[in-house]
Amino acid sequence: MMTFHREGRSIMIGSIILFLGLSALNYYLLASSIYWLFLFLEIGFVILLYLVIQFFRIPKRDCIANPMDIMCPADGKVVVIEEVEETEYFKDKRIQVSIFMSPLNVHANYYPISGEVSYTKYHPGLFLVAWHPKSSTDNERSTCVVKHSNGTEILFRQIAGALARRICYYAQTGDTAQTGGEFGFIKFGSRVDLFLPLGTKIDVKIGEKVQAKLTKLGTLN
């Protein structure tokens, strides 16, 4: 079973209207004179409409996790697992796990753990490609920190890219987070970074394809 995200409603409606208009114009101008070109363009319009609509698909998934599990917040591929200095909130060493979301991935983002939202902040910025070394600090992004009941805090960050031009986030400080509950959406993909305590057991590896709410990233200490 699959639904479509509310963030895509206006874009999908606009795309369908544009598709119908272009198809009608294409039929009027080319169908009776240059049929092969009419067919070629019509197939192209259908493919473009499909690509836009599939950006906003939301497959039905049940998140089954133990209380100490860190679940994947986004669909995509693991592109970074390394020790870094987190400079915005913790201001100390953390394990960064980054998930790259391609235009073909599901783009909704979900809480990786349960707890209380202890920090949120939106940062306007640039739109560098997601793999650029400065995309984590210079691009448009949102930061959220959830404090688990055992006192451990995890920071996760939505990062816009060259194609993604709109970050949507719903988490507010003081909210109760539930593992697998939706906290945001990145229109047309990009990247989600997680910053975990040193010593966290990581269950994924670089290059691995992961799924939001289904893939276990690691375990809290």
Alpha helices per DSSP H over 55-191: 135-138
Instruction: Measure the CA–CA gap between 132 and 125, rounded to whole angstroms.
Output: 14
Q: CA-CA distance, 125 to 21, in Å (whole number)?
A: 35
The one catalytic residue in 15, 98, 136, 190 is 190
> What is the DSSP code (8-state) at residue 139?
B
Give the tokens for residue 150: 């055992």
Residue 138: CB atoms within 10 A of its CB come to 15
Starting at the earlier edge strand, list the strands of the sheet with 92-101.
Answer: 176-177, 115-123, 141-147, 153-159, 190-196, 92-101, 76-86, 209-210
**190 belongs to the catalytic site:** yes
Find tokens 């560098």 and name the residue. Answer: 128
In the chain, where do the E strands start and end?
A: 2-4, 57-59, 69-71, 76-86, 92-101, 108-110, 115-123, 141-147, 153-159, 166-169, 176-177, 182-187, 190-196, 201-202, 209-210, 216-219
Q: Which residues are catalytic?
A: 190
